[in-house]
Amino acid sequence: MPTLWHGIFYGAAFLLAVGAAAWMRYGAESAWWVAIVVGLLVFAVVIFIGPRLLARQLIKNRQRAKSTVNDERMGIRGNLKCTPSDRRQCGAELSGARPAIPR
């Protein structure tokens, strides 16, 4: 994941943690130590879970784009159907390999 995203997540995590701590202290009228603990928990959750979710989404999008490009390059369309007798020929077309020469 790019370094810029890490900085964005640290900034967002800090702002969310401060907001949660302020809400716990003044909105829910809890003790100061509870506000600090909630702020640290929010910070840790956002730092450890947020980038992993983003990285998973980026990898999924990259793989989807790569498979789409490969399918278009090989000329595969969604309506390609194979009969059992053409399975070897059709499998060669799907894999991008040269068709087998019958003997």
28, with CB counted inside 10 A (0-12, 13-18, 19+), is exposed
- Within a domain: 102: no
For the chain of 103 residues, list the mean pLDDT of each consecutive stretch of 10. 77 90 87 89 88 85 74 55 57 52 59
State phi, psi for 91 to the nearest 5 degrees: -65, -35
What type of residue sits at position 54? L
Q: What is the pLDDT of residue 101?
A: 61
* pLDDT given at position 17: 92
Residue 26 is assigned to a structural domain of this protein? yes
Position 35 in a domain:
yes
pLDDT of residue 18: 92
Q: What total number of domains does the chain contain?
A: 1
Residue 101 domain-assigned (yes or no): no
In a domain, 9, yes or no: yes
- What domain range is 52 assigned to? 3-95
